[in-house]
Amino acid sequence: MVQVTKGKNVVIETYDAELKEFTATAAQTDFTMANKAGETTPEYTRVYVDNVEVASADITVSSATPAVVTIPACTVGQIVQIYMPKAKNGAYSVQQAIQMKVSTKTIEIAELGNDAVTVDVVQRSGALNIAFAQATNHDLMTKFTDSAKNDAFMVIAKKYSNTTPVSFRIFKEARVNEMNDSLEAGGIAMETFTLTFKHPVAFKTT
């Protein structure tokens, strides 16, 4: 029998995120953040070295306070940017609607004297739409509203609790982009938030 995933089995977990930038010294591997990590599983943290993303398999996040993020050795002068989840805000059951979409922006490059056209991908961006009843998710509404006001980065994890093993979709460098509220038929007050995030989406199972 196929296990159907219903809204009650999908949980949204939110984390405030810390962004810290470093200029690496010769052979530097350890980078000390300002906060304790909200999750030490590397799929929750994103690291760039000279704008190139480091694979999750090459990232280690300590449980110390503050956290130390370890990556392969850098060369002197390389710019390291780390987006790490810090405080976990809570877990919320969203039974109304969740939709994720990734858009790809391309550019066509043509050369003089050549009929061939090269299509290059220049950007992939994602949007996560979350709709829920205000009455049962007031804390989530408050967190998203505060993040929008401060234009703060977040890490959003969508947890499928009825799968074996439990699976997660993790959206990093997420920020609230749009907010809407409405009163549905039957008198239900609804909140809808659209968050943008930086692709790719990370996947994790437990």
CB 202 within 8 A of CB 43: yes
- Asked if the model's pLDDT at residue 159 lies above 50, the reply is yes
Q: How many domains does the chain have?
A: 2
Provide the CATH number for the domain around residue 145.
Answer: 2.30.110.20
**Number of alpha carbons in the 13 Å side-chain half-sphere of residue 89:** 23
Which is more confidently placed, 142 or 71?
71
Residues 145 and 185 in one domain: yes
- Percent of the chain's residues with pLDDT above 90: 52
* pLDDT digit string, tens, across residues 137-148: 778 888 888 888
pTM confidence score: 0.84
Contact 120, 100 (CB under 8 A): no
Hey, what are 50's tokens?
A: 């000279």
CA distance 176 to 3: 32
Q: With contact defined as beta carbons under 8 Å apart, do 150 and 157 qualify?
A: no
Residue 48 has pLDDT above 50, yes or no: yes
Domain that holds residue 124: 7-15+90-205
Is pLDDT larger for residue 183 or for residue 25? 25
Same domain? 167 vs 178 = yes
Mean pLDDT of the chain: 87
Query: Tens of pLDDT along 10-19?
Result: 888 999 999 9
Residue 2 lies in a domain: no
Query: Does residue 71 share a domain with residue 156?
Result: no
- Residues 147, 101 share a domain: yes
